[in-house]
Amino acid sequence: MANIASARKRARQAVKRNAQNTSQRSSYRTAIKAVRKAINAGDKTAATKVLQESQSVIDRIADKRILHKNTASRYKSRLAAAVKAMA
């Protein structure tokens, strides 16, 4: 356990930040699952709508550096390609 006041404060902040990051990472994963579910359902219009909503979530996560920007871009690209490939 930290003895110095600034170290105790840092530990408190780290716990709070970790909880926030975990929550946001969870919402990002849920968004990706929603797109994949829509793609598997076979409804292209619904999948397109869900994709647009998910892209904003993914961008927000990348802006906050919870996810690397290239990783976010890769996810968006692959999901968009999957939606586009639907018949």
CATH (domain of 63): 1.20.58.110
> What are the residue ranges in the chain where pLDDT is below 70?
none
Note the pTM of the prediction, 2 decimals: 0.84
pLDDT at 27: 96
pLDDT at 37: 97
pLDDT at 60: 96
* Number of domains composing the chain: 1
Look up the domain containing 50 and give its range: 5-84
pLDDT at 21: 96
Residues 6+ apart with CB under 8 A from 86: 39, 42, 44, 47
pLDDT at 33: 97
